[in-house]
Amino acid sequence: MLGCGSVGSQVVRLLGEQADDLAARVGARVELAGVAVRRLDAPREVDVPADLLTTDAAALVARDDVDLVIEVIGGIEPARSLILSALENGASVVTANKALLAEDGPTLFEAAEKAGRDLYYEAAVAGAIPILRPLRESLAGDRVTRVLGIVNGTTNFILDKMDTSGAGFADALEEAQALGYAEADPTADVEGFDAAAKAAILASLAFHSRVTAADVHREGITDVSAGDVRSAREMGSVVKLLAIAELRPTPEGDDAVSVRVHPAMIPRSHPLASVREAYNAVFVESEAAGQLMFYGPGAGGSPTASAVLGDLVTVARNHRQGTRGVGESAYADRAVLPMGETRTRYHVAIDVDDRAGVLAAVAQAFAEQGVSIQTVRQEGRGNDAQLVVVSHEATDAALAATVDKLRDMEIVREVTSVMRVEGTEE
Amino acid sequence: MLGCGSVGSQVVRLLGEQADDLAARVGARVELAGVAVRRLDAPREVDVPADLLTTDAAALVARDDVDLVIEVIGGIEPARSLILSALENGASVVTANKALLAEDGPTLFEAAEKAGRDLYYEAAVAGAIPILRPLRESLAGDRVTRVLGIVNGTTNFILDKMDTSGAGFADALEEAQALGYAEADPTADVEGFDAAAKAAILASLAFHSRVTAADVHREGITDVSAGDVRSAREMGSVVKLLAIAELRPTPEGDDAVSVRVHPAMIPRSHPLASVREAYNAVFVESEAAGQLMFYGPGAGGSPTASAVLGDLVTVARNHRQGTRGVGESAYADRAVLPMGETRTRYHVAIDVDDRAGVLAAVAQAFAEQGVSIQTVRQEGRGNDAQLVVVSHEATDAALAATVDKLRDMEIVREVTSVMRVEGTEE
């Protein structure tokens, strides 16, 4: 095992406590050969026998008697080099490393293929929730068309707090940090980098194509205001940070992959709307199965260790049988649709002068971009009025251009909220 | 393929429409060798080439060129004989037959083991929802302690209707029949036989033990009254037909399996409470992963076909690799706890005379059986009063004896509602 932080410690604990069950399920005892750590004397949640600890990770993965390497260091290097070296040496690998898989998955998959070994990574997306195996095995006979996921617990906690208490982003973040749901430097979570890595992994599996973090359009939640959340509430919706991967027709009529992470309003009746606090959930739409949802804890040492050990049992059983599980499946090789060409829907709230012709002018701004309007709500407030417009689907570029135009119009005092809408209209 | 009803027709359709994708995912083209039906000229949802249809199922499964048999006939015979014959002839089997698996699973598993072939059955429980594979593979490194499932769409539709409209059972059943959610003879659904079969399958997988339909304590929903549903609503709960499989300590301190199907009140805040209409969901608690939920359509030709084809891809891939997937895992060999010894909680509503000493007498009836009370709500209504008691956990036998005693008491006019409570107290 490489790394012994909160996930690694729980893996060690479970390997000990459930040794007999694991042996019965694998068909052979699983023995911890060594644990590579940065500092031998660091405090740990679990007692690791001193003779198993080493600071020489490279030597550990090169050992002849190691059949399987669990990588729970995280980050790009040295994780990548160690995984590649483990595969070259004939070991299979179980990893929880979403950042590495999203950045450079194909290199790892090719190395696993070449070595004839397994590379499993259920723990990399949505912690304990079994989602990768259902996507790549249970739904292998179906055609997945869309995956909508709440895959980052920190941002869901913050947005849930803003929804229930009316707090602004800064206050909700502070509370999340105080409770241990957000890190001191929350950038990876609140700017959507973590969710984007998971979106890339989900898109790759769902659509049998290579999708990397660089393909993901990414917007975080730092600009989500108390007003946005209130505006969502007024229309029976809630704001969630969604990882979205869907098949969308290109102008040429092929299926391309749209993959993105951004805050969006979804109706409160949508199954994802009731995902509270730091929980995760992944909603999958497919041609034959219809709508499925997978829900559970998306992080934490013990849940993530559960996913690691599930992979370990499979990989160890494959090893004993001299076989491999499903490798990378990228045969479909679909293109990624640029965000501007992706069809989305916008919710736009605008403060305007309350006088005749205003609604007509605003409607004209939408029409000029070919955007059709689904609903408009107008509310007078003395001299000014608030207009809330929800569009039908249009290209994201046309919707963004419409908002730019609105901001420039003299009768528009302020565009107070702009947010995409998901989970309703096809 | 054996059978070509609503599931079989959709399997044929998808085998055709997704042939290229299936070929890429399996690594070889999947060719339909034949379809055994009862009548060659029966109307079907899909066109099957006439030369593929046969009425001789036994000859079809005996053919040398058949590598894989899909059984979607249902029922015990001739499905069992055909599956056994297919395995003996060296074919692997994918089946959706919950009744057969729950009644005689071990015979099938042993035949598959002996033949060195696969027997997969994801479609047998909760239609398209991937739940068996997560239980037997994703959670193989964890210790599952409880499975709570809404696994019968018909009864969930009826109970949901009773909850939302206040209708009684008979009216709700009639509506379900009119909409095609219930069959003309609804016995298998409303008496809980269908859910009990699924409970046995879930318990076997979750606890690595052999559990058959005969082990499942079964109560249907025909006695659930509008009053029960109202009483649940008044305490912030909802009535659901639950399939429950859990590890419970025996008096000797071992872990035994409690497996049962009965209506129960669960709090509206529980994730299962929001499962509406004919949807299914399975809630899983495990030591390391915590609480997980799997949600989706639990029946229907196309969703069930999705599960069949997911298994088909895995089994076909195994066949090509000359390997097998996970077979039966029954090493833990746990005993099944009799219902009377299982610890449950009761909600009891009683009409009593409204006079001094009544509450004391009722409380005494609980105390005599060693049952401790969690909450009591009393409501005067002129001469009489209604008492609603929710107990703490006690053995089901002690709770049942308490209710019998209450019915015999002179001050008790009527026990108006008795129902178990799930999803709260540990």
CATH number at residue A176: 3.30.360.10
> Hey, are the CB atoms on A133 and B129 less than 8 Å from each other?
no
Q: How far apart are CA A310 and CA A299, in angstroms?
A: 16
Distance separating alpha carbons of residues A15 and A96, to the nearest angstrom: 17
In angstroms and rounded to an integer, the radius of gyration of the C-alpha atoms of chain A is 24
Residues 6+ apart with CB under 8 A from A147: A135, A202, A203, A206, A243, A244, A245, A246, A282, A283, A284, A285
Half-sphere exposure of B324 (CA within 13 A, CB side): 17
The verdict on a CB contact (< 8 Å) between A290 and B271 is: no
Q: What is the pLDDT of residues A205-250, one digit of tens each?
A: 999 999 999 999 999 999 999 999 999 999 899 999 999 999 998 8
Instruction: Write out the H or E segment, with its range, that includes residue B262.
Output: strand B255-267
Handedness of CA B99, B213, B399, B373 (dihedral sign): negative
- Work out the pLDDT band at A144, boundaries 50, 70, 90: very high
Return the SS3 of A420.
strand
Length of chain A: 426
Cα–Cα dist B324/B119, whole Å:
9
**DSSP string for residues in B99-122:** HHHHHHHHHHHHHHHHHT--EE-G
List the CATH number of the domain containing A317.
3.40.50.720
Q: Which residue has the tokens 């499903």?
A: A326
Asked if residue A326 belongs to a domain, the reply is no
Residue B327 lies in a domain: no
Please tell me whether residues B38 and B150 are part of one structural domain.
no
Q: Enumerate the residues of chain A whose CB falls inside 8 A of the CB of residue B148.
A: none
Integer Cα distance of B20 and B301 in angstroms: 22
Residue A306, min C-alpha distance to chain B (Å): 5
The answer to whether residues B244 and B260 touch, using CB atoms and an 8 Å cutoff, is: yes
User: Are A93 and A154 within one domain?
Assistant: no
Is there a catalytic annotation at residue B405? Answer: no
Stretch (H or E) spanning B69: strand B68-71
CA dist., res. B69 & res. B108, Å (int) = 14
Contact criterion met (CB below 8 Å) for B294 and B127 = no
Q: Are A49 and A82 contained in the same domain?
A: yes
Q: Residue A297's closest CA among A288, A289, A307, A309?
A: A307
How far is the alpha carbon of B405 from chain A, nearest alpha carbon, in Å?
Answer: 42
Q: Which residue of chain A has the CA closest to B314? A: A137
Both B272 and B309 in one domain: the answer is no
Which tokens in the block code for residue A350?
């605008």
Would you say A322 is a known binding-site residue?
no
* Optimal mutation site among A14, A46, A125, A142, interface B, most CBs of chain B within 10 A: A142
Residue B126 within a domain: no
Are the C-beta atoms of residues A350 and A384 closer than 8 Å to each other?
Answer: no
- Nearest Cα of chain A lies from the Cα of B369 at a distance, in angstroms, of 37
Q: What is the CA radius of gyration of chain B?
A: 24
- Burial per residue of B71-108, b for 16 or more beta-carbon CB atoms within 10 angstroms, e otherwise: bbbbeeeebbebbbbbbeeebbbbbbbbbbbbbbbeeb
pLDDT < 70 regions, chain B: 425-426
CB contact under 8 A, A310 and B122: no
**Same domain, residue pair A74 and A163:** no
Indicate yes or no: CB of A306 within 8 angstroms of CB of B137: no
Q: Residue A249 forms beta bridges with which residues?
A: A255
The binding site of B for L-homoserine comprises 183
> Which chain B positions have a beta carbon within 8 Å of A292's beta carbon?
128-130, 294-296
Whether A81 and A10 share a structural domain: yes
Asked if residue B335 is part of any domain, the answer here is: no
Q: How many Cα atoms sit within 13 Å of B416 on the Cβ side?
A: 17
Whether residue B330 lies inside any domain: the answer is: no
Q: Which residue of B has its CA nearest to A329?
A: B25
Residue A355's pLDDT band, with cuts at 50, 70 and 90, is confident
Instruction: Read off the CATH number of the domain in which A351 is found.
Output: 3.30.70.260
Rounded to a whole number of angstroms, the distance between the first and last alpha carbons of chain A is 45
State the burial class of residue A251 (Cβ atoms within 10 Å of its Cβ: 0-12, 13-18, 19+). Answer: exposed
* Cβ-defined contacts of B10-13 (< 8 Å, 24+): B10/A288, B10/B45, B10/B46, B10/B301, B10/B302, B10/B304, B10/B305, B11/B70, B11/B72, B11/B305, B11/B308, B11/B309, B12/B46, B12/B48, B13/B45, B13/B46, B13/B305
Q: Which secondary-structure segment (H or E) carries A17?
A: helix A6-17
Of A289, A303, A324, the CB nearest to B290: A303
Q: Are the CB atoms for A272 and A283 separated by under 8 Å?
A: yes
Of A292, A307, A311, the CB nearest to B296: A292
Q: Which of A138, A283, A323 to mutate to test the interface with B (most CBs of B within 10 A)?
A: A138
Residues B255 and B307 both lie in one domain: no
Q: Among B138, B296, B321, select the one facing A291 at the smallest CB separation.
A: B296
Instruction: Collect all residues of chain B within an 8 Å Cβ-Cβ radius of residue A10.
Output: 288
Q: Who among A18, A130, A317 is closest to B138 (CB)?
A: A130
Query: Is the Cβ pair A21, B332 closer than 8 Å?
Result: yes
Determine whether the interchain pair B291/A288 forms a contact, defined as Cβ–Cβ distance below 8 Å: no
Whether the CB-CB separation of A68 and A34 falls below 8 Å is answered with no
Q: How far apart are the first and last CA of chain B?
A: 46
Cα A288 to chain center, whole Å?
24
Q: What is the pLDDT of residue B289?
A: 96
Annotated binding site of B for NADP(+): 2-9
Determine how β-strand A343-353 pairs with β-strand A384-391.
Answer: antiparallel
Q: How does DSSP classify residue B216? A: S
Which ipTM value was assigned to this complex?
0.94
| CA–CA min distance A327, chain B (Å) | 10
A142 vs B140, B306, B324: nearest CB: B306
All residues of chain B having their beta carbon less than 8 Å from the beta carbon of residue A324 are: 321
Query: A293, B289: Cβ pair inside 8 Å?
Result: no
Q: Which residues of A are catalytic?
A: 198
User: Are A417 and A347 within one domain?
Assistant: yes
Annotated binding-site ranges of B:
2-9, 98, 183
- Pair B154, B285 in one domain: yes
Pairwise CB contact (< 8 Å): B138 & A307: yes
- Shared domain for A355 and A312, answered yes or no, is no
Query: Is the Cβ pair B14, A129 closer than 8 Å?
Result: no
In a domain, B316, yes or no: yes
CA distance to partner chain A, nearest, from residue B351 (Å): 37
How many Å lie between the alpha carbon of B127 and the closest alpha carbon of chain A? 8
Torsion of CA A64, A67, A73, A79, to 10 degrees: 60
Does one domain contain both B210 and B150? Answer: yes
Q: Clarify whether residues A287 and A148 are in a common domain.
A: yes
What are the C-alpha distances in Å from B374 to residues A269, B266, B347, B348, B394?
A: 33, 15, 10, 12, 11
Do the domain assignments include residue A332?
no
**How many whole angstroms separate alpha carbon B98 and alpha carbon B213?**
10
Element (H, E) at A94: strand A92-95
Annotated binding site of B for NADPH: 98
Nearest CA to A264 among A365, A399, A410?
A399
**What is the per-residue DSSP string for B161-192?**
HHHHH---HHHHHHHHHHTTSS-SS-HHHHTS
Interface residue of B6, B137, B272 to substitute, partner A, most A CBs within 10 Å: B137
A214, amino acid identity: A
Interface touch A331/B10, C-beta < 8 Å: no
Name the residue in chain B with its Cα closest to that of A283. Answer: B295
Q: What is the pLDDT of residue A425?
A: 56
> How far off is chain A from B269, nearest CA to CA, in Å?
10
Extended beta strands in A135-211, E state: 144-150
**Domain count for chain A:** 3
Residue identified by tokens 């679909």 is A334
Looking at beta carbons, which residues of chain A come within 8 Å of B22? 141
- With beta carbons under 8 A apart, name residues in chain B contacting A14: 141-142, 288
Tokens of A267: 């109706």
Q: Counting one residue from A and one from B, how many pairs have CB atoms under 8 Å apart?
A: 182
Cβ within 8 Å of residue A184, ≥6 positions away = A177
- Whole-angstrom Cα distance, residue B390 to residue A99? 49
Helix (H, G, I), strand (E, B) or coil at A322: coil
A82: containing domain:
6-120+302-321
Could you give the CA distance from residue B312 to residue A137 in angstroms, rounded to a whole number? 10
| Inter-chain touch B308–A129, beta carbons under 8 Å | no
Say if residue A183 carries a ligand binding annotation. Answer: yes
| B141/A292 CB distance under 8 A | no
DSSP strands (E only) in A228-341: 237-249, 255-267, 279-286, 290-297
With a cut of 60, say whether residue A426 has pLDDT above it. no
Q: Note whether residue A330 is domain-resident.
A: no
Name the residue facing B271 among A208, A295, A312 (closest C-beta).
A295
Of the candidates B185, B181, B139, B164, the residue with the CA atom closest to the CA atom of residue B282: B139
